[in-house]
Homo-oligomer: A and B are copies of this chain.
Amino acid sequence: MPGTPVGIVGFSGYSGAELVSLLSKHPHVELILLEHREGSDHPRPLGHNGPQRLPCSADSVRSAGLAAVFFATPPEVSMELAGPMLDAGAKIIDLSGAFRLGTAENYKRWYKEPHTQPELLKEAVYGLPEFCRSRVAAARLISNPGCYPTAANLAIKPLIEAGAIDREHGIVCDAKSGVSGAGRKASIKTSFCEVTENFSAYSILDHRHVPEVLRTSGLEEEEFSFTAQLIPIHRGILETIYFRASEKIASGEDLLAIYRGRYASEPFVRIYASGQVPDLHAVAHTNFCDIGWKYDPATRRTVVVSVIDNLGKGAAGQAIQNMNLALGYPETAGLL
């Protein structure tokens, strides 16, 4: 039984390649690569040509009847392609930052370029299924969340909603990512010898993922300090989140109750016993977000650890979760 045809633009980057890998095993779709300035650069075994390829155009969307198209592209490419491909009848799942920030002003502030499609920006739905599942299901244009905000919001938002955080003292999110988060490109900064046996901080206090956390969690900028850092590994994000718990919280079990209440029926968020925290291996090559914490009852200081695979729940995995919702498949199809 042939699956529903879906397309990918940007399949040779790391998120794109992960989409190809996951969608090739998806039970309900058939994958088509939409070639946009990409060539194949690796030797390939003879006779293993991979998915069908078409030119990247609205015509290809129409002729192949693509139900959905993934954009694993820079934001300016996403802005250029979204309108025509929506008109051609595909739902769009955009992995770039083009449609994440809600307003053109906000986009201009953080991405340093004007937004060229403000009307589409209004229509876009932010695809964090755990907090906006029904809107995703109804959307034409889904903006897949950034990797850092996914791990941060899943850890922080339930606590904010429950009033579990003493916001006066502020929240610190110390974030670390594998190098694939920087994309696949020739660059001294991400060359092997610069990264191995190293660890470095970047975009301190002004990373463009910060506004996604503020917008989703409801925090104010002055309440939230964020640093991104590069781990010498391929894939994985670990965020160490510090705050003082509010007076409502008297034990680590109280935090457990909040998380379990919020995530009991979520297939991709896993919670640890109070005092235990996950490492990156726990979520590598999966679509899970794993959350654990340590709480000090004497001082209410709290440290939450949230981990994802930046190419899984942080990019391609979550994009497929969104596609499943938008096309009416079981939410976990192709992801467990």
List residues of A whose CB falls within 8 A of some B CB. Answer: 14, 25, 41-48, 169-170, 172, 174, 176, 178-180, 184-188, 190-201, 204-205, 221-222, 225, 227, 229, 231-236, 238, 240, 242, 244, 260, 270-273, 276-282, 284-285, 288, 290, 292, 294, 296, 298-299, 301, 303, 305, 336
Contacts and interface: CB of A to CB of B under 8 A. Distances in A.
A204 B170 contact: no
Contact of A200 (B229, B271, B280): B280
Most-contacted residue by chain B among A194, A235, A240 (CB, 10 A): A240
Contacts of A244: 170
Contacts of A294: 204-205
B305 A201 contact: yes
Contact of A184 (B41, B191, B222, B238): B191
Given A187-B186, A190-B192, A199-B279, A272 B169 contact: no
Contact of A240 (B201, B284, B290): B201
Interface of A is mostly: loop
A313 to B, nearest CB: 14
A236 B282 CA distance: 21
Contact of A232 (B221, B231, B285): B231
28 contacts: A25-B336, A45-B271, A46-B270, A48-B270, A174-B174, A176-B199, A179-B193, A179-B196, A184-B191, A186-B187, A186-B188, A187-B191, A190-B193, A196-B197, A197-B235, A197-B280, A198-B233, A198-B280, A199-B231, A199-B233, A200-B238, A200-B279, A201-B303, A221-B299, A225-B242, A229-B240, A232-B232, A285-B285
